[in-house]
Structure 1
């Protein structure tokens, strides 16, 4: 166990068990209750080892307990989902009722939202069978369902189809990990809003506050692009972002700021701390500071709609504040790991969420790598020192996340080091200003809301400007990069060894890092050579299209109908990942007669 951050080891063991859970469920057909019984016995054993101060046995037993507990939690959750699917598949129904649980989100030609389906009309009677689903409605509707509305739909829920092509994004698994088991495309006229119950309970507060915040932003921020950015950063909804905006943030390596994440909570946390930190000088003031921090972070969390990323970041920030106010020594990595432990115990599938992975890696990178990077240069000028500190913060987060980012997104922004410091500076103004705009609007101060709205709009414009800089520079984005999972592990091993060399001041770990570099190079060369020499031919399954691919070397001959060659979205969803995995450098399109 790590002496100062024992929860890091605990979380690693728990995550290992969660990953092992699906394999264990498929290999061993044993009742879940038996797994829980064994897990309970292990927990009791750990308690006895701790009581009798047998540290070695306690450490081994705790590790084994966490692995088994992670596997059991994952198995329990997945079997519950399978039971819901089986129960609904056994029903023959014509209609169902549902309660809307999310705000409507604009898509290309539809509006989508999440619902809790409650009952199904089967054989002339309503049968209760709760499941979560994702519904798509036509975008031409005059009245859209809102959170809390009860609707009745004539039709059926369908399970999302698994990927039909090699390397295709597994949308069904993505939804399942979020607890959404079914989808439905609802035609106009086949649904109705049957009731709009009073929405005054706590369950409706996040959606109500988020909707109100959207109205305030629309009123006080007149520029369309600035409004779309503020809405994305504060509310987590990108439906009003311009296409060019999204492209600029992708190219610049700052696309992460468009999703509500732990970074946003950290900025709000630091702004509140800077404004009210003076209260900590007095004994009573510490508790006033704690209440202010909890209230403002809670308000911000409600504004965002309480997504999981905000929940975990707010939890971690509050732990830091409570430890500080209580006078307890705390280590950021331990607090970070404890927040991850709580989240994974409540929702094991959060481990598979890309946002969860990148968020925690970024925070771990900042905690571990920021200090060593920041000490490389010592600018005497205050302004230069601030710029360097922001740059070091950005580098620390980028280093910690880039292997996983390459694995998922297959691209690397080459000018992130230039753009991210500017984006961080501007968002440090934008986010507090946007939150202050909501607070003064709630207090009924229109003149002050107008002024703060101008500040938020200007900072949003500056953030957009910073993100657009790389577009004018050559080689702004390296695309079609491919890493195997083994190579990702090697890269993280390399990062850890370099960090530990600096931490322990021992060159022996630096020697081990050279071994890892050689392994990475050998693995990469062998994989690329094997892929290049292996010819391949396959037919893609694409709705509404026909496409067959022939690979030779690093060239892909794609034979398809004419409409597919013009359908960039169909290509990106069905073919692009395969081309990247095969390290294709050139695609030759052939139109079938």
Structure 2
């Protein structure tokens, strides 16, 4: 985190000691619970559910109207219980009402020949393909046009003729398909990721399949903000010679990540400083400090305070516009706007209440924001800075001014890291051990880089001054990058392969919060509760470790156009595939499957390698793993006729050999026929039909979940 707000925004007096100080926090929590339940269960709109909400609401109103007559005062808990229930039901109802698939004109409900769509985000060009989402505006069938709604994700093969921009209106064929769930264990769930952004379909287009009907049909404010961001991003790239420094500058200042390399992202991720590369609340807070300093000449009179406040809010939202109105920046802008307005009237502003208020506003706008990882981590980090940082800061007292400031920075970093650790480990499966060192290292350079970035946008056109600021920005980021790279290269810089279940993540979070509550009020019962939670967590980890140690399995992975088999024996594993470890397919498919199953020592080999250890043997096309055998049947041996029938456990057909199931059944005896996704559609269908006719057990991996079998 960046910590520019210092003690003026974070102090122990802001910690609520009574729920009456934080009404929005009290009532946003049941709303969040309702949203999470509705999302998890996939509940649809129900008139019965809406009726229950109305009945509870009317009951609450009637109790207040006839409060004295019904002697409700004898049941003090009743009003609060009904109100909590209303917010809980309201959270569930918000999700159901916001589901775009419930609209009568949703494009997925009707048969169409063509769709008219508008690009609703900034298109990105990755390799040979354009990627962007689009709003469906109309559907066309047999020359008739009807209005339509919904979103879909588009992947378009790039050509030199077209450069896509936000607001482009396209005519495309209605050949969209559902977004598929992940096929392999622990792989990233792209289907859920898009569904949480109200996108359920995707389409792949080639040049000539689409037509750009109109340009600049989007929101003019968003269009201008994206153009402005691209303008400054091009200036940064043109004036900063070091490409990595230029990419970090555009990301840190503008939130423009298109030029950021995977290597730089890895360094920041491994050192626990990836938040710097996501324009978020900390960046907006620094911008506010900068604005507050610049507007200091306005004085302290009542009128000056209001003028200063309005200008500050206007400039904060101008910066939000510059970043393309990214959700983290909008969240921070809403919260800071509330704080500024509250302070303008010299009112005691409880920041936890304001944090909950901003979350409530955003969740009313889109309840599915609760599923966004950035939303969760940023709100938790700010909550930690408000609540936990004062507790940690008070653990030690220093008389020296600079030592006290240094301890302040350490306590802030600890608070943000501790409270986000359970979720970040749950999502990213790693923990940076040197996070304190790396965060302290980047505090000054990152704030200086952001300061230079703001100055260069203001004065970059003045040649001498602009060149000087660009140099300062470049060297600052180069120093920051080299320092983080040095930390990342140290031994044991990161603990990886952390795989929490949802219950374990919740248990760890509860244990941490209980411990800090004990540190705040010294209640021994709370400490005992925290230790018991940790004990349960240790028991869960122990059971998983023992289970992984005693489990042997073979996983036939589903990866488009690639064979891949993962053999597991306790904590050891062997992968047979043509995918290299540096390939993204390995990172997103094979590695998660291995790590999540408890494999800590993974040997990686190609299909042509021979390899043996104390439990695994591969010679040619035959693999022996404990008591299971696998035959890799490909084009090399499709014409080979063995002198006698070979017994194997699994016959794995790969690389599209021209064979028949009858030939395979004559030459080999096998328990299961496995047809992988490297085979053509015609081969898949032919082999599946033949196997069905001969009543031979078979599995087709293409567009199906991977097959996991227990190996004895």
After superposition, give the CA deviation of every residue in 1:405-461 in whole Å (9 maximum; x if it has no partner).
1111111111111010121221212223212322335xx645443333333323322
RMSD of aligned alpha carbons: 2.7
Question: For residue 129 of structure 2, what is the aligned residue in structure 1?
Answer: 110
Equivalent residues of 2:551, 2:570 under 8 A apart: yes
Which residue of structure 2 aligns with residue 413 of structure 1? Answer: 432
Residue number in structure 2 paired with 1:304 = 323
Is the contact made by 2:130 and 2:155 (CA closer than 8 Å) also made in structure 1? Answer: yes
Q: Secondary structure at the match of 2:579?
A: helix
Equivalence for 2:564: 547
Post-superposition offset of 1:203:
4.4
Matches within 5 A, 1:389-404: 389-404=408-423
The alpha carbon displacement at 1:200 in A equals: 8.3
Answering whether residue 209 of structure 2 is matched by residue 190 of structure 1, we say yes
1:571 to 575, 586, 599: 586
Identify the structure with the greater helix proportion: 1
Higher Cα radius of gyration: 2
1:542 touches 1:574 (CA, 8 Å); kept in 2? yes
Which SS does the other structure have where 1:134 is aligned?
strand
Q: What corresponds to 2:637 in structure 1?
A: none
Alpha-carbon distance in structure 1 between the residues aligned to 2:151 and 2:174: 16
State the secondary structure of the residue aligned to 1:178: coil
Structure 1 contact 24–71 (Cα < 8 Å) conserved: no
**1:7 maps to 2:24:** yes
After superposition, where does 1:368-447 map in structure 2 within 5 Å? 368-441=387-460, 445-447=462-464
Q: Report the Cα offset of residue 312 of structure 1.
A: 0.9
Q: In structure 1, what is the Cα distance between the partners aligned to 2:173 and 2:35?
A: 38
User: Does 2:363 align with 1:363?
Assistant: no
1:57 Cα offset (Å): 2.2
Distance of 1:539 and 1:198 partners within structure 2: 47
Deviation at 1:11, TM superposition (A): 1.7
2:553 maps to 1:536: yes
Unaligned runs of 5+ in 1: none
Contact 2:233/2:256, CA 8 A, preserved across alignment:
no
Change (3 A) 1:142 1:516: same
Match status 1:582 vs 2:597: yes
Q: Which sits farther off after the overlay, 223-232 or 335-344?
A: 223-232
- Which secondary structure does the structure 1 equivalent of 2:379 belong to? helix
Correspondence for 1:92: 112
Residue number among 458, 465, 469 corresponding to 2:475 in the alignment: 458
How does 1:37-186 map onto structure 2 within 5 Å? 37-38=54-55, 40-41=57-58, 44=61, 48=65, 55-78=76-99, 80-81=100-101, 87-93=107-113, 95-154=114-173, 156-186=175-205
- In the alignment, structure 2 segments of 5+ residues that lack a partner are 1-17, 608-620, 622-712
Partner deviation per Cα, 1:160-215 (whole Å, 9 max, x = no partner): 11112222211011011112232222212322322224778334333233223323
Identify the residue that residue 287 of structure 1 maps to in structure 2. 306
Aligned equivalents of 2:319, 2:66: Cα separation in 1: 43
Q: Distance in 1 between matches of 2:531 and 2:442?
A: 34
The equivalent of 1:242 in structure 2 is: 261
Name the count of aligned residue pairs.
587
Range moving further from structure 2, 490-499 or 456-465: 456-465
SS in 2 for 1:120: strand
Q: Give me the whole-angstrom Cα distance separating, in 1, the residues matched to 2:63 and 2:40.
A: 25
Q: In the aligned structure 2, how far is the partner of 1:322 from the partner of 1:500?
A: 31
Deviation at 1:147, TM superposition (A): 1.5
Report deviation, 1:527.
2.5
Q: In 2, distance between residues paired with 1:367 and 1:317?
A: 14
Cα distance in 2 for partners of 1:259, 1:19 equals 25
- 1:258 and 1:459 mapped to 2: Cα distance? 15
Aligned residue in 1 for 2:532? 515
